[in-house]
């Protein structure tokens, strides 16, 4: 192997690893956006429940948080009356 081949191998390894890292970060953008919006939903829902829901005033913080999680995950809905 000639001495000139070695620097090329290092250069290609550096380029390919840098490209892989950049692609990983790009793929994380949608996940981080969803997490941001979910966190905003959780904070607003928790504050709303804590401020306006008089029936839940006596509940502890963990119970109110679990209701907020259910709301933000879409598990809680208002039933239709027949």
Sign of CA dihedral 66, 68, 73, 77: positive
CA distance linking residue 44 with residue 27, whole number of Å: 28
Give the residue-averaged pLDDT of 52-79: 84
Residue 62's alpha-carbon distances to 12, 15, 65, 67, 82, in angstroms, are 52, 48, 5, 9, 33
CA distance linking residue 82 with residue 78, whole number of Å: 13
In this prediction, residue 11 has a pLDDT band, given cuts at 50, 70 and 90, of: confident
% of the chain surpassing 90 pLDDT: 49
Note the pTM of the prediction, 2 decimals. 0.63
In this prediction, residue 45 has a pLDDT band, given cuts at 50, 70 and 90, of: very high
């Amino acid at each position: 192997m000639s001495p000139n081949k070695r620097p090329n191998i290092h250069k290609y390894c550096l380029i390919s690893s840098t490209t892989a890292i950049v692609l990983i970060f790009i793929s994380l953008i949608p996940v981080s956006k969803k997490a941001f919006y979910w966190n905003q939903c959780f904070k607003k829902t928790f504050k709303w429940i804590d401020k306006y829901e008089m029936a839940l005033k006596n509940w502890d913080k963990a119970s109110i948080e679990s209701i907020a999680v259910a709301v933000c995950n879409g598990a809680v809905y208002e039933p239709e009356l027949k």
